[in-house]
Each structure stands twice: as structure tokens, then as C-alpha cells.
Amino acid sequence: MSRGSFVFTSTALRSLELDKEMLERDKYRRQLATHHLSSYLMKKQTIERTQLRSNIACPVTVCQDMVIQNALYTGDLEAMQRLFPRGSTANFVIEPQGGEMRWVARGEGLWSLTYEQELTTPLHITAGRGFTDCLKLLLQRGANVDLAPGGITALHQSCENCQAECTKLLLIHGANANAVSEDGLMPLHVCTSPESLECAKLLLQYGAAINGRTLDEDDTPLHAAAKNGLPDHVDLYLRYGAAVDKQNDEGLTPLNAACSQPQEVQDLGRYFKVLKHCSQSPRTIEVLLNAYSVLKVTDTWIESVPEEALKEYKEFYESIFSLAMTPRCLQHLARCRLRSFLEGRVHKVVPKLDLPNFIKNYLLLEYRGYVH
């Protein structure tokens, strides 16, 4: 050991790792704060320029007009052209009637059962329902693309509902591709279905943060895509430089997140694709296969593994193909049951259990070089 150096204990190393994670998280939250400030200043400048031109302040008002609401919710373009003539404004909040019932305090210990109101805007309604022409009209009338009275922007709404044309219109008119919702989600985080792929592509083209984190769970868009079984989204995000080793608050990487989600039996046939593309990485394949209690091994699996990989990892692939005629072992089935019970808490709970380390590692899908 050289002079002036010393040995770090495992506790000290873990402390340094935690400090590093905390610094990274603080850095990310500062970036978000800076982004929010920049967005606010841009909006403020836009409002000030508008006021200078018209010399009239235009505060956001609440609209309860059922005629306007009916035109918006049905996508009636002709009615909207009459209701929003040139020179009118589309910058107002809508308080729709109805919805869920909830108890509300009225003061002096009195409570009443009233309808829960969720504020929205004309942009949210038209963007979420794919009324492209109506949305275009509202944008021409100067609707604020980043207004979020209900906690989400119209861009969140269009992406969540897989409305690619509306998403494109909003982005062209300056919608913030990294806007953070009340729940701490960016638009990329709500692209959680196969039909949302075009929305995800547009967001990335307009500067969406590929490694942006959710505020509550610290998930990246790659985590969200992996959890929801979206291979095309995963491929897209990787091409845009998504980090494959980022851990969320539960310590899960996107790969862990994908493995932790239960799959339907009819989806198991897709495994041969995994074998084909990951044949040179037995560690990856083992983790994936050990996340399931049932494997439908077929001849297609064998045909999907290149000959050179079969030779290099002979024992590993033989252990997989031997399951074609036999069920998984009882030990593995017990592991699957426990992991299913713990769901997303596996990596938090298992290390705290009073169990031998080899059992903990087994539950955490440690690499063993074979599948049983």
C-alpha cells in the first residue's frame, strides 16, 4: 500500500455510493427547477408582449357554458368556428359538470357530498380526443399550449391518448416536450402503449429528455417502456442514447423492471426473439427466463440460437432446452411466487430478510450459468 493511502470499509464505500446517488438526484432536481424557471420566464415574456400589443390584460377565466363544452367534446368544428371567431381568445379553463362524488368540508364542521371537479382547457379536450382541426383552430386563436390547470398539459393528454397528429401540432406551436405534470411525469413517461410510439418519436425530435426521471419513482422513459412491454419504444430510446443501467428509487434498472412484470402465457412465444438477439449474453437470458414460472420451449428456440453461441455456452443452452419436456423445479416456482407477492419491492425487501446470502442472491436472480 502506498504512503498516504488507506482502505475503505464496505460501509464507507456504501456511504460514498449513497452520497453520489444523492448528488446526482439533487443535480437532476436542480435541472428541473432551472427548466421550470426558464419556462416561466418565457411565458412571462410572451404575456408581457401580448399586453404591450393590446394594452389589455387577459386573465384566465373559468367557462361553464354547456354550448361551448358540447362543441369541444364532440369536435364540432363548425360550432367552434362560430364560438371562437377571429379576435376571440381560447385561453380559459373549463370546469366540467359531473364526475366522481366526494365529501367536501363547508366550514363549522359541516360536510357535503359534491361532484369532484377536474379542471381542463379546450386544448386538453381536443388534443386528448384527436380533434386535429379543432385543435388547430384553438392554437390559431392563441391558446396557451402549456396551461395545466388540472396538473397536466395538453401535450401529456395527447401522448397518453396516442394522438400523434395533435402531439405534432402542439410541439410545432411551442409545447414544452419536458413539461412535468403534477404527478412528476414528463410526456415521454405517459407513452405507455404500443400506439404511442409515434408520439414518442415526435417528443424526441422536439428535444424530450431521453433520460428524464419521474419525481416519485425516479423512472426513466426506458423504465416505463420496459415495464409496459414495449420493444419498439425500447429500441427507439436506445437509439437516442437512453442509459440502460440507470436505477430507479427501488434500485431497478430497466432490465430488472421488465423482468419484474408478470406476462400472459400467450406472450411466452416471443422468447425466441430474445434468444436470437441476446444469444451471446447468457446472463441477460437467464435473468429474463427466471422471471417466469412457465416456459413454452419449442424447436424454434433451438433454431434461434446461432451455432457458435451453442458451442460457447453449451451447458447453459442445454439446461434451457431440457425444459421442453419438464416443468420448472419446485425451488424456482417458490422463488417466482415470492417475487410475485413482493412485486416491485423485491430489491428493497429481500436484502432485509433474515436469510443466508445464497438464498437472498437466488431470490434476486443472481447469475448461475444454468436454468432449472
Query: What's the mean pLDDT in 13-34?
Result: 62
Identify the weakest region by mean pLDDT among 121-125, 256-260, 289-293. Answer: 256-260
226 band by pLDDT with thresholds 50, 70 and 90: confident
Q: The C-alpha cell of 154 is what?
A: 395538453
Identify the weakest region by mean pLDDT among 114-118, 123-127, 189-193. Answer: 114-118
Q: What is the DSSP letter of 107?
A: E
| Coil, helix or strand at residue 123 | helix
Please check whether residue 203 is in contact with residue 185, taking contact to mean a CB–CB distance below 8 angstroms.
no
Q: What is the DSSP letter of 329?
A: P
Please check whether residue 273 is in contact with residue 285, taking contact to mean a CB–CB distance below 8 angstroms.
no
Angle at 371 between CA 368 and CA 372, to 5 degrees: 115
Segment (H or E) for 110: strand 110-115
Residue of 151, 150, 146 whose CA lies nearest to 173: 146
Torsion, Cα of 332, 335, 341, 342 (10° steps): -140
Paired residues of 104 in beta bridges: 112
Return the HEC string of 291-350.
CCCCCCCCHHHHHHCCHHHHHHCHHHHHHHHHHHCCCCCHHHHHHHHHHHHHHHHHHHHH
Q: What is the DSSP letter of 213?
A: -
Q: The C-alpha cell of 177 is what?
A: 416536450
Report pLDDT for 252: 79
Q: Has residue 170 got a pLDDT over 90?
A: yes
Give the Cα separation of 349 and 347 in Å (integer): 6
Q: The C-alpha cell of 190 is what?
A: 405517459
Q: The C-alpha cell of 311 is what?
A: 458451442
Query: Domains in the chain, please, with CATH?
Result: 61-209 (1.25.40.20), 262-363 (no CATH)
Give the Cα separation of 264 and 155 in Å (integer): 31
Paired residues of 94 in beta bridges: 63, 120
Report pLDDT for 16: 63
Please check whether residue 362 is in contact with residue 290, taking contact to mean a CB–CB distance below 8 angstroms.
no
| Coil, helix or strand at residue 8 | coil
- For the segment 145-154, what is each residue's pLDDT rounded down to a tens digit? 988 888 899 9
Identify which has the larger pLDDT, 186 or 112: 186
66 C-beta neighbours (distance < 10 Å), count: 10
Give the Cα separation of 299 and 285 in Å (integer): 17
Query: What's the mean pLDDT in 349-363?
Result: 86
